[in-house]
Each structure stands twice: as structure tokens, then as C-alpha cells.
Amino acid sequence: MKNLVSIADCSKQQLLEILSLAAKFEENPNQKILDGKIVATLFFEPSTRTRLSFETAVNRLGGRVIGFSDAATSSSSKGETLHDTIQIVNNYADVIVMRHHLDGAARYASEVSRVPIVNAGDGSNQHPSQTLLDLYSIQKTQGTLENLHICLVGDLKYGRTVHSLIMAMVHFNPTFHFISPNELQMPEEYKIFCRKNNIKFTESTELDGNFNNADILYMTRVQRERFQDPMEYEKVKNVYTLKKSMLEDSKPNLRILHPLPRVGEIDVDVDSSEKAYYFQQAQNGLYIRQAILCMVLGIDGLVED
Ligand code: CP
């Protein structure tokens, strides 16, 4: 695999291979296998976890990082096109990790780039490296990816992480429970995808009491930056707040995931629950991103105990 643009481009076998490689990096994250490689991180949108974990992944593997974390400091702010930016960075780097506000920007970049493109999030479309770390977290906490009940909660309209996760889980016979306000329902295209692929799903607007059968409770932030009208955001921004008391009747194996950042949808009192897994989930991102970089650079079989 040369690029990681959409999780839908990955076969089941490829997904499982990346998870397996990540587990090896978790055992031993410091290996100098990217010596001489330069990774460009082009972040046209803000990020904490994705950019820093990719950059940590490169540093721990002995590579070097160039890039920008704010498009305002790049020549895109002077009007340079994405096409031209990619051409220029192709002259400097061996792989480009890119986040962009436009759906499809990573796909376009992959079509004009000579070096691999890793999509670090494009608009409300895809966030495949997040999905891989979500799969890794689910597998680690549940012991399997198969036949799980997964509640997706919050902004299902604009949340790219839930869109990617649905597509990845197609291989593992999940049952989804979509919980969102009416304004932020799962888009029809993803429901059509579920129906076509025999993925069972339910829809609800209520959180409390609706996840007692769930194995995974996947909370999401309302994506303020995607709203055209700030008043529409104000109406839904505090729609759900998960509190520790709401977990009383949940299954013992339930784990709470969140791609983060959270802005109020998980009360801090949940942090002390053994079911809270979102900070470990973010840590898992380091090992997954080490595995992704090796995969797109064709570095294989170098992980030894
Ligand atoms: N989950 C995630 O993408 O976080 P950042 O926006 O901080 O990268």
C-alpha cells in the first residue's frame, strides 16, 4: 500500500497486519528503522494528537520531520494551490502526512504526489489513522473485533472518525447504535453503506440508558468548525454529557472511547472509571502511526524483540 487515504482502501488482511505491527511497536517503540527518511507533516487544520503522535513516531524510529502546524505560516496563505504545495514538498520529503479542511483533499494529493500521502483527516470525510488506532483500542480492550455492539454518540453528521470507523468495521460483523440529535444524524450515505453490507444499526436521540448492551461507547465532539451558522452550533453543542453515574448498568467489558479533544461531552468524573479508555486510546495512536509509516514506506519485517 503506497498511500493511506481512505480506510475503505484497506483490506481486512491489511487492517489486521497494521494492528499486528503496532503491537510489536508497543513492545519496543524505539527502533532506528527510519534513519535517513524525512516525513513532512502538513497540517492545514489544527491538531494536537495526530500531528504530535506522527512526529513522535518518526522521532522514535530515527527519522526526521519537516512541516507546518498552521497553514497561515505556509505559502498557502499567499494563494499557493494544494497541487503546487505537494509538488514542492515532494522535492524534500519521503512521505507526506496531511490534514486539510476539504473533503477529498488527501485523495487529490495522492493523485499528484510522487511520495506516499497519509491522510490525517480531510474535512468531514475520513480519518483513517484514527480509525486504525480505534480498531487497535477495541481489539485490545475486547480481545476481538468481531460481533461487537458499538454506540456512536454525538456529531455523526460531521464527525469523520465515525464515518471511517463504520467503513472499517464492515469486516467484523458489528451492530451499531447511532445516538445523535436530529440535526446531526448519521448521513444517509453511511446508512446506505450499512444496509448494502448487512451491518445492523439502530438510531436514537437519547443517550442515558441506551448503551447498556454496548461493548464500546464511542463519544464524539460536536464539530463547531464545520457549521455554516454559529446559531445552529449553539443549539446542539451541549446535547450530551456522559457522567459516571450513567455507567451503573453498563456491561463490565464496556470501554469508553473518544477521538478527543473533548469539550464537555464526557464529564471529568468519568476519567476515574475503569471503563474510561480515551487517554490510553490516544497513546495507542503512537504505535499505530509507527506501523502506518512503515507500511507506506515499504519498511517490512524490521521489528525484532
Ligand atoms: N483525534 C484527533 O484527530 O485529535 P487532534 O485533532 O488533536 O489531532
Could you tell me the domains of the chain? 7-126+285-296 (3.40.50.1370), 128-282 (3.40.50.1370)
pLDDT grade for 147, boundaries at 50, 70 and 90: very high
- CA 288 – ligand 1 centroid, Å: 14
Ligand 1 pocket test, pick from 48, 126, 164 with the greatest ligand atom count within 8 Å of Cβ, gives 48
pLDDT in the model for residue 300: 75
Give residue-wise pLDDT tens across range 288-297: 999 999 999 9
Ligand 1 atom nearest the C-alpha of 53 is 8
Q: Is ligand 1 within 6 A of the CB of residue 260?
A: yes
**Rounded distance between C-alpha atoms, residue 60 and residue 65, angstroms:** 11
C-alpha cell at 170: 464492515
User: How much is the pLDDT for 234?
Assistant: 85
Identify the pLDDT of residue 168: 98
281 lines ligand 1 (CB under 6 A): no
Q: Which three cell numbers stand for residue 220?
A: 464524539
The yes-or-no verdict on residue 188 having pLDDT over 90 is: yes
The three cell numbers of residue 188 are 444517509
**Pocket probe mutation, ligand 1, options 43, 130, 218, 286, max atoms within 8 Å of Cβ:** 130
Distance of CA 21 to the CA centre of its chain: 18
Measured between alpha carbons, how far is 117 from 256 in angstroms, rounded to an integer?
30
Confidence of residue 50 (pLDDT cuts 50, 70, 90): very high
What's the gap in Å between 127 CA and the centre of ligand 1? 9
The residue behind cell 496563505 is 77
Residues 165-179: tens digit of each pLDDT:
999 999 999 999 999
Please classify residue 59 by burial: count the beta carbons closer than 10 Å to its beta carbon, then call 0-12 exposed, 13-18 middle and 19+ buried. middle
Sequence-distant (≥ 6) Cβ neighbours of residue 165 within 8 angstroms: 131, 134, 150, 152, 218
Provide the mean pLDDT of the chain. 95
Quote the CA–CA distance of 15 and 42 in Å, as a whole number.
Answer: 24
Q: What is the pTM of this model?
A: 0.95
Confidence at residue 301, expressed as pLDDT on a 0 to 100 scale: 53
Residues forming the active site: 49-50, 78, 99, 127
HSE (side-chain half, CA atoms, 13 Å) at 208: 7
